[in-house]
A and B are shown apart, each in its own frame.
Chain A
Amino acid sequence: MTDQTNNTGFDWASPSFQSHMKKRRRSQIQLKLLGLGAIAIAFMMLMLLITSLVSTGYHAFTQTHLKVEVFLDPEHLDPAKPARGNYRQILTDTMKTQFPDVPDDRAELRKLTSILSNGAQFTIRDRVMENPDLIGETVQFNVPVADTYDQLNKGLIDPDTPEEYRRLKNDEIANFELLKDRGAITEPLNTALLTNADSRFPELAGLKGALVGSFYALLTCFLLSFPLGIGAAIYLEEFAPRNRVSDLIEININNLAAVPSVVFGLLALAVFLGWFGMPRSAPFVGGMTLALMTLPTIIIATRAALKAVPPSIREAALAVGASKQQVVFGHVLPLAMPGILTGTIIGLAQALGETAPLLLIGMNAFITSAPSTPFDSATALPTQIFIWADSPERGFVSRTSAAILVLLTFLIMMNAIAIFLRQKFERKW
């Protein structure tokens, strides 16, 4: 800039001003970099979270199985009472035939049978009970192997660690390698993860009970909170007189939305279980608790959706002589529905991930069968994750990660539906 045209007496080109400018530009860049850094940290944490879950969890999506010929020895089985057979002995005999070289002493044999999952005997029993004619024949079974051998097969046990620190000794590894060389070891998709209920043995544990429990709980939550929430929101937004009472309700709803979830658990424990004697660990009670927490979310979302419907629509309907309720239920509510559904789905997604209140009403019980009604004892997905995360067996680490991945998949699906609804039906007035 030319100096002499300056008519207000400030020298924009002076060195001191220029160096000041430089400093200012530098601080601009600094702030930008700080902001970028902050976002990068958030990004990194999300990546770290996902990679750690996937890298530990993907092991749980396959399960090592052993293919064996089992002789259903009539000596140990009574066709009249197939449920009471000595299946352990049958398995021991089976493994003995697999390893004819191994000396016939109890400790060695126990080592051999421990390759198989504890659930193997039940697989065989179920098959025999289904078809008692099989007794006396040799049948091929594909049974899961025990967790430690599953780990070995997936390369999670380092053979270089000194033997005394290893969970499997050299001879055990050798036995397993022998089976592997024979081609008896397979690693199919672990469908049991979704079709089995919980178990003490990682190789048998599945999410069926938790999935069904979560489904019942969410269903209850939806059936309660959706009508209640919409009713409350319509009343507050369209009909309530503006007075102290409606102010109180409004403040109350906003505060309720911020009450810690564990407090709702205390409420459920004291009132639902303590005062009304409802069953412990029941998804129905869990759903009721979650409904109380979801209610404010739905009320707030519904009110926002109702507010977004322009008053001109109301006036047009009122002007042709419709009553206020006819206007609301006939015109305003249908127009607000997409927004209401979006808010509801987001609320339900939050409820699906909620853990603490369910722990307090006992939905962390150890239950090995899926509930058949909402009033049976059950776990839910997040409480199942909590139980598995607390279990000491190595195999549960990968199963916990896998369960989390399943939970996150459901959450992402629900949110995707919400986003889809919002974009598909969003109206610009």
Chain B
Amino acid sequence: MTLLAFVILLTAVTVGYVINLRAARAIRDGGTRMHSLESFHGGYAALMTLVPTFFLIIIWMLFQGTVIELIVKSGISDQLEGLGTGETQLVMAEIRSIAGGRIFGTPEQWKLDAAERLVALRGLSGWLLVAVTAALATTMLYVSRRTVSSEFRARQGVERIVHVLMAGCATVAIFVTIGIVASLLFETFRFFQMVPFWDFLLGTNWEPQIPIREDQVAAEGAFGMLPVFLGTLVIAFVAMVIATPIGLLSAIYLHEFASNRIRGVVKPVLEVLAGVPTVVYGFFAILVIAPAIRSFGTDLGLPIASNTALAAGSVMGIMLIPFISSFADDALGAVPRSLRDGSLAVGATQAETMLKVLFPAAIPGIVGGILLAISRAIGETMIVVMAAGLIAKMTINPLDSVTTVTVQIVTLLIGDTAFDSPKTLAAFALGMVLFLMTLCINILALRIVRKYREIYD
């Protein structure tokens, strides 16, 4: 049905173009001078038909599922009464699978009825969509055909529509941000209805395991984010301790000492290192780095946990080396050449010029880059999901196993998405923390970098 709607749309667009083109041509051949070229008249009709109808189909598709389910649900409200959200979802899933022809066991008659209703409604919705599409397309065809005249400014009309479309594209970015903030806020708000805000913010105990059945004897579930937060910081710290000196030193070497040939080799290597997906780094951590650290620790007689913060952090550090290096290289490159000349001309060595003049002058840009790297380290997910631990501990020992905000988000949400348990919602609260933290660092870093560019531009 959707396909049919799209076919109708395309046909209408083509027809509109041709009709208006012919009409305009007829007027021109009649000897009247046209304001716009005929193709603009055609294009105007095509766009006038395409844009509203296309959006109608998209919106229809987005909401038809939700609306149909609401109708089905309201039809069986007697049976659903008294059920929790999770159970309602289960029932709906069953009805959906019955509607799809997959029947397990012998479902109750009302479920079969509901499934039948669902199928009928879906069919109805499909036909309705086709009808509405056809109606709208015809109306738009009629409206745009009426506009064809020698005075009509079809080119301006086309350009106005294109302009609005492009402005719409630009605002998509804003809608994405709004979507992020809205979804996080909404779910976080629901989380704080179940768990007190201060318990979350200042609690030192993170045990999100919640009894699944009423009678189950299990931990109450504790949602204090501090140990998770601390673990994130420990791993980010390890990563930065490794990435910062190596990244900065390699940038210094590349910028000041390396010949063009060496630069030509090293830069692509760093780019490869930067382009490796994080899931690969995660596997590298569990395949090579973690066993190496463990056996090294055993040799020294140190007690080393199996998922040390050190392993995850150091691999994350390797990932960040090219990031910091390229940022520092750019920052050094932005320092005017005249400063370097000035320093060399009084007889400073290259090393002195670098350490006493260029590097200090580039510090703001470098700090901006390091801040962005920290924000990356905090938000990095796959390496820690694969190589860090799951248990939250209040420790700053990098040889211990810690967990991070991103690890908890992923483990809480993998597999199970009942939107009403505090366990799931906790992931969104953590996501909110993560988003705010990285947002603050990013804004600060981008501001520093931009200010710094202004100084030398």
Residues of chain A at the chain B interface (Cβ within 8 Å): 24-25, 27-28, 30-32, 34-39, 41-43, 45-46, 48-49, 52-53, 56, 227-232, 234-236, 239-240, 246, 248-249, 251-256, 258-267, 269-271, 273-277, 280, 292, 295-296, 299, 323, 325, 349-350, 352-356, 359-360, 362, 364, 382-383, 385-386, 389-390, 397, 400-401, 404, 407-408, 411, 415
Q: Please report which residues of chain B, range 349-391, place their CB below 8 angstroms from some CB of chain A when the two chains form the complex.
A: 349-352, 354-355, 372, 375-376, 378-382, 385-386
Contacting A296 at CB < 8 Å: which of B155, B173, B352?
B173
| Cβ A260 vs Cβ B249 within 8 A | no
- In this complex, the member of A355, A385, A404 whose beta carbon has the largest number of chain B beta carbons within 10 angstroms is A355
Can you show 25 pairs from A to B with CB atoms below 8 A apart?
A24-B352, A34-B253, A39-B250, A45-B321, A49-B276, A227-B169, A232-B170, A235-B166, A246-B170, A249-B170, A249-B174, A252-B173, A256-B173, A258-B372, A259-B379, A270-B187, A274-B183, A276-B65, A295-B173, A323-B159, A325-B159, A325-B162, A349-B275, A352-B277, A408-B276
A323–B381 alpha-carbon span in the complex (Å): 48
Per-residue contact bits, chain B 151-188, to A (CB 8 Å; 1 contact, 0 not): 00001000100110111111111101101100110110
Contacts of A389 in B (CB 8 A): 279, 282-283, 286, 386
Contacting A231 at CB < 8 Å: which of B155, B170, B245, B428?
B170
Does B394 have its Cβ within 8 Å of any Cβ on chain A? no
Closest to A235 in B: B166
Contacts of B174 in A (CB 8 A): 248-249, 252
Q: Please report which residues of chain B, range 265-281, place their CB below 8 angstroms from some CB of chain A when the two chains form the complex.
A: 266, 269-270, 272-273, 275-280
Contacts of B62 in A (CB 8 A): 276
Q: Which 10 A-B pairs have the closest CB atoms?
A: A35-B253, A260-B379, A353-B277, A231-B169, A270-B183, A38-B249, A356-B381, A235-B166, A232-B169, A28-B351
How distant is A119 from chain B, measured CB to nearest CB, in Å? 25
Contacts of A325 in B (CB 8 A): 159, 162-163
Contacting A37 at CB < 8 Å: which of B187, B249, B352, B431?
B249
| Cβ A32 vs Cβ B280 within 8 A | no
A348–B61 alpha-carbon span in the complex (Å): 26
For chain B, the count of residues having a C-beta within 8 Å of the partner chain is 92
Contacting A28 at CB < 8 Å: which of B249, B284, B350, B435?
B350
How distant is A379 from chain B, measured CB to nearest CB, in Å? 12
How distant is B199 from chain A, measured CB to nearest CB, in Å? 22
A35–B321 alpha-carbon span in the complex (Å): 13
Does B438 have its Cβ within 8 Å of any Cβ on chain A? yes
| Cβ A266 vs Cβ B279 within 8 A | no
Contacts of B350 in A (CB 8 A): 28
Does B246 have its Cβ within 8 Å of any Cβ on chain A? yes
| Cβ B409 vs Cβ A32 within 8 A | no
| Cβ B253 vs Cβ A39 within 8 A | yes
Closest to A37 in B: B249
Q: Please report which residues of chain B, range 305-350, place their CB below 8 angstroms from some CB of chain A when the two chains form the complex.
A: 318, 321-322, 325, 349-350
A359–B65 alpha-carbon span in the complex (Å): 24
Contacts of A273 in B (CB 8 A): 417
Closest to A21 in B: B349
Does B66 have its Cβ within 8 Å of any Cβ on chain A? yes
Which of the 9-residue segments B7-15, B103-111, B135-143, B439-447 touches chain A?
Answer: B439-447
Does B304 have its Cβ within 8 Å of any Cβ on chain A? no
Does B302 have its Cβ within 8 Å of any Cβ on chain A? no
Contacts of A39 in B (CB 8 A): 250, 253-254, 266
A390–B65 alpha-carbon span in the complex (Å): 35
A41–B278 alpha-carbon span in the complex (Å): 19
| Cβ B385 vs Cβ A266 within 8 A | no
Q: Please report which residues of chain B, range 417-438, place their CB below 8 angstroms from some CB of chain A when the two chains form the complex.
A: 417, 419, 427-428, 431, 434-435, 438
A21–B288 alpha-carbon span in the complex (Å): 45
Does B414 have its Cβ within 8 Å of any Cβ on chain A? yes
Does B118 have its Cβ within 8 Å of any Cβ on chain A? no
Closest to A414 in B: B275
| Cβ B169 vs Cβ A359 within 8 A | no
| Cβ A271 vs Cβ B179 within 8 A | yes
Does B296 have its Cβ within 8 Å of any Cβ on chain A? no
| Cβ A386 vs Cβ B382 within 8 A | yes
Does B413 have its Cβ within 8 Å of any Cβ on chain A? yes
- In this complex, the member of A261, A274, A359 whose beta carbon has the largest number of chain B beta carbons within 10 angstroms is A359
Contacts of B270 in A (CB 8 A): 42
Contacts of A262 in B (CB 8 A): 379, 381, 406, 409-410, 431, 434
A-B contact number at CB 8 A? 268
Does B4 have its Cβ within 8 Å of any Cβ on chain A? no
Contacting B169 at CB < 8 Å: which of A53, A235, A364, A401?
A235
Closest to B281 in A: A49
Residues of chain B at the chain A interface (Cβ within 8 Å): 62-63, 65-66, 69, 155, 159, 162-163, 165-174, 176-177, 179-180, 183-184, 186-187, 245-250, 252-254, 257, 266, 269-270, 272-273, 275-280, 282-284, 286-288, 318, 321-322, 325, 349-352, 354-355, 372, 375-376, 378-382, 385-386, 406, 409-410, 413-415, 417, 419, 427-428, 431, 434-435, 438-439, 442-443, 446
| Cβ B435 vs Cβ A259 within 8 A | yes
| Cβ B446 vs Cβ A356 within 8 A | no
Contacts of A52 in B (CB 8 A): 284, 287-288
A248–B352 alpha-carbon span in the complex (Å): 42
Given contacts A276-B62, A277-B65, A404-B283, contact A386 B381 (CB under 8 A): no
Contacting A260 at CB < 8 Å: which of B183, B380, B417?
B380
| Cβ B180 vs Cβ A263 within 8 A | yes
Given contacts A46-B269, A232-B173, A408-B276, contact A32 B406 (CB under 8 A): no
| Cβ B414 vs Cβ A34 within 8 A | no
| Cβ A228 vs Cβ B172 within 8 A | yes
| Cβ A415 vs Cβ B355 within 8 A | no
Contacts of A49 in B (CB 8 A): 276, 280, 284, 288
| Cβ A41 vs Cβ B246 within 8 A | yes
| Cβ A386 vs Cβ B279 within 8 A | yes
Contacts of A264 in B (CB 8 A): 180
Given contacts A24-B352, A235-B167, contact A382 B184 (CB under 8 A): no
Contacting A263 at CB < 8 Å: which of B253, B322, B349, B434?
B434
| Cβ A32 vs Cβ B446 within 8 A | no
| Cβ A266 vs Cβ B183 within 8 A | yes
Contacts of B166 in A (CB 8 A): 231-232, 234-235, 239
Contacting A266 at CB < 8 Å: which of B286, B322, B427?
B427
| Cβ A385 vs Cβ B279 within 8 A | yes
Contacts of B325 in A (CB 8 A): 42
Contacting A48 at CB < 8 Å: which of B288, B378, B381?
B288
| Cβ B439 vs Cβ A259 within 8 A | yes
How distant is A67 from chain B, measured CB to nearest CB, in Å? 33
| Cβ B277 vs Cβ A407 within 8 A | yes
A299–B249 alpha-carbon span in the complex (Å): 32
Closest to A354 in B: B277
| Cβ A32 vs Cβ B269 within 8 A | no
Closest to A246 in B: B170
| Cβ A255 vs Cβ B276 within 8 A | no
Closest to A349 in B: B275
Contacts of B286 in A (CB 8 A): 389
Closest to B449 in A: A254
| Cβ A260 vs Cβ B170 within 8 A | no
A352–B270 alpha-carbon span in the complex (Å): 19
Contacts of B278 in A (CB 8 A): 353, 355-356
Contacts of B409 in A (CB 8 A): 262, 266, 360
Contacts of B275 in A (CB 8 A): 349-350, 353, 411, 415
Contacts of B163 in A (CB 8 A): 235, 239, 325
How distant is B377 from chain A, measured CB to nearest CB, in Å? 10
A277–B380 alpha-carbon span in the complex (Å): 28
| Cβ A360 vs Cβ B66 within 8 A | no
